[in-house]
A and B are shown apart, each in its own frame.
Chain A
Amino acid sequence: MTASTETLHLQHADHQAHADAHGWRRWLYATNHKDIGTLYLWFSFSMFMLGGTMALGIRAELFQPGLQFWHPEFFNQLTTLHGIIMVFGAIMPAFTGLANWMLPLMLGAPDMAFARMNNWSFWLLPPAAALLVISLFVPGGAPAGGWTLYPPLSIQAGMGMDLAIFAIHLLGLSSIMGSINIVTTVLNMRAPGMTLLKMPMFAWTSLVTAYLLIAVAPVLAGAVTMLLTDRHFGTHFFKAAGGGDPVLFQHIFWFFGHPEVYIMALPAFGIVSQILPTFARKPLFGYVSMVYAVCSIAILSFMVWAHHMFAVGLPATAQLFFMFMTMLIAVPTGVKVFNWIATMWQGEMTFETPMLFAIGFVCLFTVGGFSGLVLSIAPIDIQMTDTYYVVAHFHYVLVAGALFSLFGATYYWLPKWTGQMYNEKLGKLHFWWSMIWFNVTFFPMHFLGLAGMPRRIPDYPLQFTDFNSVASVGAFCFGLGQLLFLYNVINTIRGGAGRAPARPWEGAHTLEWEVASPAPHHTWEMPPDEALVKKGLRAQLLDQDHE
């Protein structure tokens, strides 16, 4: 390992294609995948803070019945922006950032395939976020019809909606270019000896996620473009008054929207599949079945969209079809959960912070998966759709799923990024704090939904008070706890708990641990030696056949 680190420095010295930029140019003109990854991750965290603040605005209002803080219109703007910002600003860019930082390191590539375009993918995000924030200050305010932008509300809304539509165009462009980069990097830049079925699980999930995004981001762009022309250019796509149909929007939106939820889930699966084997000190159980599961989830995700529309009056045959297809997804998802458990089975487990978040993920994502299964049953969903049960469901998969995996990933790779160890005690505190308050916030929402509380309302009948108050207290505590995370990260950058070795986790065998910590600005300028690749593959039991 030391030898390989040294060779790397040698390469670094003898080949310096161009001087690196410094100061602000380093970030604005960046072509280095690590710099761009860092930009993505910080952007994502700031959007998490912004969207989180909006969530707290929602929860403050809902602490007790009656209107306390906001006008109902502004409350609706808060929920809408919270949703859009969390989905497109916090979760998705975080995964792209991780892919940027880690894929070249894990695959043994010198950079992403298209380094310049990579920069553009990132730098389209801040303008999009700016458009969303500006929309708060224009006449009529921000979009208020929910993150799903359903017409007719979205057609009647003020110009904030136009800003949101253009923001979505920019976000879509960013996603498409970022995804083309990821797909090409994975398909074309792997080290010698690393065939597709030998690459790290995170590379597989990034590949499939990127494929999904290239397929559905243009569809969303099409949907909002039709909204735009319906709003301003007299078309009747979604207006029954001209032969169109508002339900058409829902079909197009959810054709994007359901794959989108897997876009936020699959990379999380990949991260967890890296972390669990490391801290269980056992290879990932059922690697190939994991790959097949990811691919079949991706394919099925195109055939279930109307489970979001059981209440709009679809024909019964269509409801049955979408109900059974949805249930079918539980099969590959179950394969994954069982494989994770089998990976831990009889492992020599230790419970460092990344591992805690990964195990937390497995437990809570499964809860979210089960409530999803409940919702997939059409006759039940007709009762539960648009209630707080749905809000509980998707926060189990998005917060305890996507977000927890991101926390785990950050703790896992922070030593590689910064060259320092983070404070383990604080990390564990962050985990337990988040775990407890997350459940305090969102578990009661199941009961609220079952009792009939609709989502997206600023006020509610008295009988819902207790659970709402509990949820609001939980949300504020949860939010506060995230400052621990911020503090821990900044502290690590500033020195943390001491220098990290190249391989801080002895159970980790993927290529990123073969380079020094912090990873030098340029890595794998020459493809890694095939023997080095094979060594890691053997440790992961991915290269038995060549023994």
Chain B
Amino acid sequence: MNVENGVHDAHYFVPAPSRWPIVGSLALFLMALGTAFWINRVPGGNWALLAGTLVLVWMLFGWFGDVIRESQAHSYGLQVDHSFRWGMSWFIFSEVMFFAAFFGALFYTRVISVPELGFFSGTHELLWPGFAADWPAATAPKLDAPYQAMAAVGIPATNTAILLTSGVTLTWAHWGMVENRRTQLKIGLALTVLLGVIFLCLQAYEYHHAWEKMGLTLASGAYGATFYMLTGFHGMHVLVGTIMLATMLVRVLRGHFSTEHHFGFEAAAWYWHFVDVVWLLLFVFVYWL
């Protein structure tokens, strides 16, 4: 209609009134209240949290089910497709900023707060006897035994290789989609999901090992906090990404998507690549340097 100003669908799709948002709000309210009660040992908190989680799962199935049905019914025109692309991009940007907060905390702690604690000669008497302004430190207050820091070689390096490979298999799957080679699409996508699952298993093993054998816990000083929170939130994102890709696999197996019309798949792929990049930064700044 007007080239200088993007596309306009004849009728931009506006969904009918829907119950899912308010169900989602109820779920998050229950989860918030439940968690707050639970961590303060107020009875019933855990049940509220559980109920909220179940309602959330129900909501996710319902809401995304609606979206998939609308998409299959070709309700979404080109303008809606553009909206989805903008929406997903900005969502990923918000995720970038979430991780930026934790990376900021890591850099600040390493570069400013730990060295500054070392400036004062009496620090270790005020903090704890074994204090040394090192990164990673080996001791922390109220810990019986020293802890070990996580090395970059071993599982972390393996996981880096796994995630990088998964990026390749995913792109290969995408080519399959675009060129209508559905078998390639299915194999590529399945491989990607599999690599995601392997990553998560290795990560779980690494955590178990660190917690039990290396004495590294959330309470292991600033190192333990930044280590677990950064890798933990990343792991949660890998989990979500894997679920997204698995959903796409199911949709592909059911014959959804066409060579032109497959933004659901692309959105999941964008998300996966984002998670990949975060991991590379983690590998460099948390594990390696």
Interface residues of chain A, those whose CB is within 8 Å of chain B, are 15, 17-21, 25-26, 28-31, 109-111, 113-117, 119-120, 123-124, 126-127, 130-131, 134, 159, 162-163, 166-167, 169-170, 173, 176, 179-181, 183-184, 187-195, 214-219, 221-223, 225-226, 229-230, 232-237, 240-245, 247-248, 251-252, 255, 525-527, 530
Query: What are the nearest 8 A-B pairs in CB distance?
Result: A222-B101, A192-B2, A234-B219, A120-B21, A243-B222, A235-B225, A245-B113, A166-B32
Contacts of B81-97 to chain A: CB distance below 8 A: 82-83, 86-87, 90-91, 93-95, 97
At the interface, yes or no: B73 with Cβ under 8 Å from chain A?
Answer: no
Report A-chain residues with C-beta under 8 Å of the C-beta of B105: 222, 226, 237, 248, 252
> Majority SS of interface residues in chain B?
helix
Q: What's the A-B contact tally at a CB cutoff of 8 Å?
A: 236
Q: Which of A110, A130, A169, A233 contacts B218 (CB 8 A)?
A: A233
Report A-chain residues with C-beta under 8 Å of the C-beta of B224: 235-236
Interchain CB contact under 8 A, B217 and A184: no
At the interface, yes or no: B15 with Cβ under 8 Å from chain A?
Answer: yes
Report B-chain residues with C-beta under 8 Å of the C-beta of A248: 105, 108-109, 113
> Majority SS of interface residues in chain A?
helix
Report B-chain residues with C-beta under 8 Å of the C-beta of A230: 225
Interchain CB contact under 8 A, A218 and B101: yes
Interchain CB contact under 8 A, B16 and A236: no
Report B-chain residues with C-beta under 8 Å of the C-beta of A530: 2
Interchain CB contact under 8 A, A243 and B8: no
Interchain CB contact under 8 A, A255 and B39: no
Interchain CB contact under 8 A, A245 and B86: no
At the interface, yes or no: B28 with Cβ under 8 Å from chain A?
Answer: yes
The chain A residue with its CB closest to the CB of B118 is A243
11 A-B residue pairs with Cβ-Cβ distance under 8 Å, sorted by A, are A17-B14, A111-B14, A127-B29, A130-B29, A183-B86, A184-B86, A222-B100, A235-B228, A242-B140, A248-B108, A530-B2
Is the interface on chain B under 10, 10 to 19, 20 to 34, or 35 or more residues?
A: 35 or more
Q: Which of B18, B36, B127 contacts A241 (CB 8 A)?
A: B127
Interchain CB contact under 8 A, B28 and A124: yes
Given the interface contacts A218-B97, A236-B219, A242-B221, does A17 sit within 8 Å of B113 by beta carbon? no
Interchain CB contact under 8 A, B137 and A243: yes
A119 to B21, CA, bound (A): 6
Interchain CB contact under 8 A, A237 and B6: no
Question: Could you give, for residues 228-258 of chain B, a 1 whenever the CB lies within 8 Å of some chain A CB and a 0 otherwise?
Answer: 1100000000000000000000000000000
Interchain CB contact under 8 A, A187 and B86: yes
Select the residue from A116, A183, A190, A232 with max chain B CB neighbours within 10 A: A116
Contacts of B124-150 to chain A: CB distance below 8 A: 127-128, 137, 140-141
Interchain CB contact under 8 A, A180 and B87: yes
Given the interface contacts A127-B25, A243-B223, does A235 sit within 8 Å of B97 by beta carbon? no
Q: How far is the CB of B37 from chain A (nearest CB, A)?
A: 8
Besides the known contacts A176-B94, A229-B229, 7 further A-B residue pairs in the complex with CB atoms under 8 A apart: A21-B17, A179-B90, A188-B83, A223-B101, A226-B229, A236-B221, A242-B140
